[in-house]
Amino acid sequence: MTQKEILLTPEGLKKLEKELETLKTVKRKEVAQRIKQALEFGDISENSEYDDAKNEQAFVEGRIIALEKVLRNAKVVHDDEHAEGEAVIGRWVKLKDLETDEIFEYKIVGSAEADPGNAKISNESPVGKALIGKTPGAVINVEVADGVLQYELLEVRREG
């Protein structure tokens, strides 16, 4: 089965590589130390410290596997490969909600980097999909459960 290509910005790639390195070199050692200490308490059948440490170990190992898979299938997208003013992965967009006149600013990123709380939306999200390839002045329609939201793309800019 072919793995889905995961799009990342150069910044996103560095962030994931750094997280992976920290998990492998720091977190693994910390968890191993916690397990060792918990085992020194004796009977592990009722040892919550041991259980917690083993759960954390499973989480760390799972995250390492997930990050390695993402990085194996990653394709770094450079926004300078696209026309100036075009909404693509790695660029910031400013949108105006045509119903409420509210202004939003987002950075379009690949799904592995998406963080809506920090204004990073995925190119695979409904808004992200509608924006890709558009230029300022475009009106985009985004279908949601309650109907259709309309936004005007006011600005597209590079990082910074």
How many domains would you assign to the chain?
Answer: 2
CATH code: domain of residue 130: 3.10.50.30
Domain boundary among 45, 76, 107: 76
CB 110 within 8 A of CB 12: yes
Instruction: Indicate the range of 24-33, 75-84, 98-107 predicted with least confidence.
Output: 75-84
My answer on whether 87 and 147 are in the same domain is yes
Query: Average pLDDT in the 68-94 region?
Result: 89
Query: Average pLDDT in the 105-127 region?
Result: 93
Domain boundary among 44, 60, 76: 76
What's residue 160's pLDDT? Answer: 60
Residue 2 pLDDT exceeds 70: no
My answer on whether 57 and 91 are in the same domain is no
**Does 87 fall in a domain?**
yes
**Does 1 fall in a domain?**
no
Percent of the chain predicted with pLDDT > 70:
96
My answer on whether 71 and 91 are in the same domain is no
CB 88 within 8 A of CB 79: yes
pLDDT-based confidence at residue 121 (cuts at 50, 70, 90) = very high
My answer on whether 44 and 105 are in the same domain is no
Strand 103-109 and strand 74-76: the pairing is: unpaired
Percent of the chain predicted with pLDDT > 90:
68
Domain span including residue 153: 83-157
What's residue 37's pLDDT? Answer: 86
Question: Which of the two residues, 4 and 65, has the higher pLDDT score?
Answer: 65
